Amino acid sequence: MNEGDEIIISAMEHHSNIVPWQLIAKEKKAIIKVIPITDKGDLILDEYKKLLSPRTKIVSVVYVSNSLGTINDVETIISLAHERKIPVLLDAAQAVNHLPVDVQKLDCEFLAFSGHKLYGPTGIGVLYGKKRFLIPCLLTRAGET
Ligand SMILES: Cc1ncc(COP(=O)(O)O)c(C=O)c1O
């Protein structure tokens, strides 16, 4: 992430999929772009297409909205991003307990959810990542400490 790079989220994100991007955007002078929603609570995919640009570094959207109950068309969101070689992170906190979630079928680069949404203990969760993305991230983090 460098100055002027772009992060796409949506207008229906939980704070946990907003604040980390705000922090990194502040640190790197990156720009957050937000996919708008209709009055019925659906993402406006035509607007999403317009937001995708050569500066987009990641698309990070919620699979199932906690506030609206909307099940987003993540397959389309992912394939539009992949056409431009942009990685996608899915916040699956409300999806894993309602839908079958198959990361290989979805082909997302990252997917996250917390354990307590599945009646697990608090303080644990899952971050799935494709190896080619996750390992460089981990090595970068290790190099920082
Ligand atoms: C869609 C969504 N994402 C993220 C979170 C955050 O999960 P946690 O409670 O583990 O911070 C929640 C919690 O309600 C959620 O509904």
Write out the residue range of the structural domain in which residue 76 sits: 6-141
The residue whose C-alpha atom lies closest to atom 11 belonging to ligand 1 is: 16
Tokens describing residue 121: 């203990």
- Mean pLDDT for all residues in the chain: 95
Number of domains in the chain: 1
Look at residue 19 and tell me if it is in a domain. yes
CB 74 within 8 A of CB 108: yes
Look at residue 1 and tell me if it is in a domain. no
Q: What's the CA gap between 32 and 3, in Å, rounded? A: 12
Q: Summarize pLDDT for 60-112 with one digit per residue, the tens.
A: 999 999 999 999 999 999 999 999 999 999 999 999 999 999 999 999 999 99
Q: To test ligand 1's pocket by mutation, which of 66, 71, 96 has the most ligand atoms within 8 angstroms of CB?
A: 66
What pLDDT, on the 0 to 100 scale, is given for residue 145? 53
CA of 52 to the centre of ligand 1 (A): 26
CATH code at position 39: 3.40.640.10
Please classify residue 26 by burial: count the beta carbons closer than 10 Å to its beta carbon, then call 0-12 exposed, 13-18 middle and 19+ buried: exposed
Q: What is the DSSP letter of 117?
A: G
What pLDDT, on the 0 to 100 scale, is given for residue 142? 76
